[in-house]
Amino acid sequence: MAIILRLDRVMADRKMSLNELSERVGVSNVNLSKIKTGRISAIRFSTLNAICKALKCQPGDILEFVDDTSP
């Protein structure tokens, strides 16, 4: 099971920089960069809520499930 983060794609679609999203969400650039690159193992719902509000998107736009157990 793998959860893929698509924050970079949503940000590109909205033409929003990491700095701008950081200011709107109130999360550091470093932490947002980790989310953007998928180098996290968890995300708080409050952070996900703030990101979705800033980007005007749904959590499913950012998170994608990929079944990696298939042959």
Share the mean pLDDT of the chain.
93
pLDDT for residue 1 is more than 60: no
The pLDDT tens digits of the residues spanning 13-36 come to 999 999 999 999 999 999 999 999
| Domain chopping of the chain, boundaries | 2-66
Write down the pTM of the prediction. Answer: 0.88
* CATH level 2 (architecture), domain 2-66: Orthogonal Bundle (1.10)
| Angle in degrees, 0-180, between the axes of helices 45-55 and 18-25, rounded to the nearest 10 | 120
pLDDT over 90, % of the chain: 83
